[in-house]
Amino acid sequence: MTKPIKITADSTCDLSAPLLRKYDISIAPLHINLGGRTYRDGVDLVPGDLYRYVKGTGRLPKTSAVTVADYLDFFRPFTESGKAVIHFTISRTMSSCYQNAVLAGRETGNVFVVDSRNLSTGIGLLALRAAELARTGWGAEAIVRAAGRLIPKVESSFIIDTLRYLYKGGRCSSVAALGANLLSLKPCIEVRGGAMAVGRKYRGSLEKCLVSYVTDRLKGRADLDLSRIFITHSAMPDGLCEKAARLVKTLAPFREVLDTSAGGTICSHCGPGTLGVLFLRK
């Protein structure tokens, strides 16, 4: 008999509360440190709190992984109720969440940990597809195999207004090599092989760069999985998210265009004025 399945993910998946409710996905929060105090991402702290802290102190936040103990406390209620857990983590090259989740899962049993090789709603795309498969009666091992086939098809990128957060956080090693002149540019950060890398660099206003970026990612492509696309953003100026959504709809007939705000952990590294389009390839 197939065990009932519970889909879970790290808070770095950036799925909105309505999506989490709709697909019955539970979240394991990472930790964010501000001024010596530690907060749970999305539970004790939201991005607005983070940006107010940075503005008031001039200091950037620090983030840390979900601990083994945290994962044990998170997984046990599901496994003890007879469920098999499929948990999606942020890429193991960006955090120790995957390793910690694996250790906790071995202790509880019935936990399948998937390294998304991604971040933000790149993880969310995998979690939603897994939830859909679970609802159609797929078993845990079959869902994990299907997720593994999807991972190389996730296309995640975002355009960033300020390099300060990424540079100080050390999460994108190629940022340092770009030099000070990049301060006048808006780089596109891409997820490649589970890590962040700098792609095309745009020049001009954030609005102008945003239009060029979205067009570059979507125009004239025949390899798009048109089931859904995420527009995920962090503290964007008024109107730009709506403009991005309208542009997406003119460029490709996605069945779902989902607007989501980046959570505290992702915002700690990308900063304000960030927007990405994230989707699957065929």
Domains of the chain, residue spans: 5-31+65-151, 153-281
CATH fit for domain 153-281, picks 3.40.50.720, 3.30.450.40, 3.30.300.30, 3.30.1180.10: 3.30.1180.10
pLDDT digits 0-9 by tens, 259-270: 999 999 999 988
Cβ pair 212, 202 in contact under 8 A: yes
Residue 263 DSSP SS3: coil
Provide the pairing of β-strand 111-115 with 84-89. Answer: parallel
pLDDT digits (tens, 9 = 90+) for 170-190: 555 555 545 544 556 888 999
Single pTM value for the model: 0.94
28-55 burial, b at 16+ Cβ within 10 Å, e below that, comes to bbbbbebeeeebbbbeebebeebbebbe
Q: Which two tokens stand for residue 186?
A: 């808006």
Q: Residue 193: left (phi > 0), alpha (psi -120 to 50), or beta? A: left
- Number of C-beta neighbours around residue 137 at 10 A: 9
Question: Which has more pLDDT, 199 or 11?
Answer: 11
User: For residues 190 and 120, is the Cβ–Cβ distance under 8 A?
Assistant: no
For residue range 22-74, list pLDDT tens digits in order: 999 999 999 999 989 999 999 999 999 999 999 999 898 999 999 999 999 99
Q: What is the mean pLDDT of residues 84-109?
A: 97
50-64, 141-155, 241-255: the lowest-pLDDT one: 50-64
The one-letter amino acid at 132 = E
5-31+65-151 maps to which CATH number? 3.40.50.10440
Mode of pairing for the β-strands spanning 84-89 and 5-10: parallel
Closest CA to 122 of 17, 276, 282, 243: 276
Whether pLDDT at 134 is above 50:
yes
Tens digits of residue pLDDT in 203-232: 889 999 999 999 999 999 999 999 999 999
